[in-house]
């Protein structure tokens, strides 16, 4: 099982794009996305200094464009990718690259959204002096209690021993003076308290724009930052991309889902290293590949061939699949099980996991072709539950 992941803000470094732009095809594609974004991303990725590309308005479009164009270099025939990729996930803004890679939105839509996301988040950050600090080590419960005591948010929960605190600069200073035992605090070079309530104005702006964005259901499993659930409805993927701006990134839950899926290999798109480093600590025995430079492409393709298998979610003109959002026990809805026609949005059942119970709906109505699981069956994230002949979208 192969999972492709895209990094978030902070992964960029001065000049990281230089070797990639030596390829004329890569350069032309990158210049096109730069034009769509209305930013000279070529210059930012080659000549700009660290402080310049730290700017949220620059960093976010730069990272998404890099991920999208590199994906085409890794898979020259994009359709072939879905015969290998079992799931995709992105950390924070990396979710936009992951969504475009899964064909939920186009590359051009992704660049407009990320440009507006970066601008809106930068404006929200300017309203109040805020920041973020990584908390490395320490007892998890003590760390979370310390954050709560000082009014901070665990904006990123990246797995064992790595939580990112976010809030006002005054709150972070108070936390620094009262740190959890055996924890190391590392202030992050970011412009504000991302993934907290301080970003609510940006959510409103992007949500307004998202109403005009057309979507498609993903071609592979999309693992959501919000809760680690597998999402297989295009509108829901987009809704989560917008809402995630002010909600914590639960990368720890994304890793749990990868483990539930049976991941054997994780490949991180450039600028790579952060997410594969976390995976090495959290998912023992899972191979990782940090794609950093173009001279690694042949080895990266071999890695994909070694671990790749289809997610089994290819688009079909004659039927739709309803899939499980998480691991657990499936309980079929009695009414759904007794009919061969389902309305758009109809409940088909629920999946009971160790954490909660999640209702599963058929977002597109249609005729029941076949149930692929029985009541009481154990299911995994993204596992097909029901095949429908569609009658129209909700």
Q: Is 316 a catalytic residue?
A: no
Catalytic residue among 34, 125, 150, 195: 195
Q: Which 8-state DSSP code applies to residue 249? A: B
Determine contact, residues 125/192, Cβ cutoff 8 Å. Answer: yes
**From CA 28, how far away is CA 288, in angstroms rounded?**
29
**From CA 144, how far away is CA 157, in angstroms rounded?**
10
β pairing state of 328-332 and 378-379: antiparallel
Determine contact, residues 39/52, Cβ cutoff 8 Å. Answer: no
**From CA 13, how far away is CA 292, in angstroms rounded?**
11
Tokens of 89: 């996930």
Give kind and range of the element (H or E) at residue 109.
Answer: helix 107-127
**From CA 361, how far away is CA 336, in angstroms rounded?**
10
Longest dimension (CA), the chain: 64
Tokens of 379: 């299911």
Q: Is 195 a catalytic residue?
A: yes
Catalytic residue among 92, 224, 246, 353: 92
Residue 200 dihedral angles phi and psi, to the nearest 5°: -55, -40
Residue 18 dihedral angles phi and psi, to the nearest 5°: -55, -55
* Residues β-bridged to residue 352: 329, 357
Give kind and range of the element (H or E) at residue 153.
Answer: strand 153-157
Angle at 161 between CA 159 and CA 165, to 5 degrees: 85
Q: Which residues are catalytic?
A: 92, 195
């Amino acid at each position: 099982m192969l999972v492709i992941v895209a990094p978030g803000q902070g992964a960029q470094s001065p000049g990281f794009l230089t070797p990639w732009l030596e390829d004329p095809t890569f350069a032309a594609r990158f210049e096109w996305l730069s034009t769509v974004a209305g930013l000279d991303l070529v210059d930012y990725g080659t000549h700009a200094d660290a402080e310049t590309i730290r700017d949220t308005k620059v960093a976010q479009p730069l990272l998404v464009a890099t991920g999208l164009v590199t994906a085409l270099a890794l898979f020259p025939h994009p359709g072939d990718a879905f015969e290998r990729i079992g799931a995709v996930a992105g950390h924070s803004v990396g979710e936009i690259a992951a969504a475009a890679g899964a064909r939920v939105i186009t590359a051009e839509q992704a660049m407009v959204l990320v440009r507006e996301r970066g601008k809106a988040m930068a404006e929200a950050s300017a309203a109040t002096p805020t920041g973020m600090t990584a908390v490395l080590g320490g007892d998890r419960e003590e760390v979370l209690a310390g954050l709560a005591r000082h009014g901070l948010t665990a904006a990123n929960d990246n797995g064992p021993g790595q939580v990112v605190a976010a809030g006002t600069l005054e709150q972070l200073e108070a936390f620094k003076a009262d740190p959890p035992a055996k924890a190391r605090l590392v202030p992050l070079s970011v412009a504000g308290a991302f993934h907290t309530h301080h970003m609510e104005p940006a959510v409103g702006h992007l949500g307004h724009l998202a109403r005009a964005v057309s979507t498609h259901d993903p071609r592979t499993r999309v693992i959501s930052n919000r809760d680690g659930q597998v999402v297989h409805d295009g509108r829901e993927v987009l809704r989560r991309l917008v809402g995630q701006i002010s909600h914590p990134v639960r990368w720890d839950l994304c890793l749990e889902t990868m483990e539930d899926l049976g991941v054997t290999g994780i490949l991180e798109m450039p600028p790579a290293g952060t997410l594969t480093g976390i995976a090495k600590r959290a998912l023992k025995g899972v191979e990782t590949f940090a794609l950093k430079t173009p001279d690694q492409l042949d080895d990266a393709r071999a890695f994909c061939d070694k671990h790749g298998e289809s997610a089994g979610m290819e688009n079909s003109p004659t039927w739709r699949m309803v899939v499980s959002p998480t691991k657990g026990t499936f309980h079929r809805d009695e009414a759904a099980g007794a009919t061969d026609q389902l309305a758009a949005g109809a409940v088909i059942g629920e999946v009971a996991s160790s954490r909660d119970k999640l209702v599963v709906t058929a977002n597109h109505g249609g005729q029941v072709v076949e149930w692929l699981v029985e009541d009481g069956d154990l299911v995994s994230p993204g596992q097909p539950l029901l095949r429908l002949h569609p009658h129209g979208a909700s």
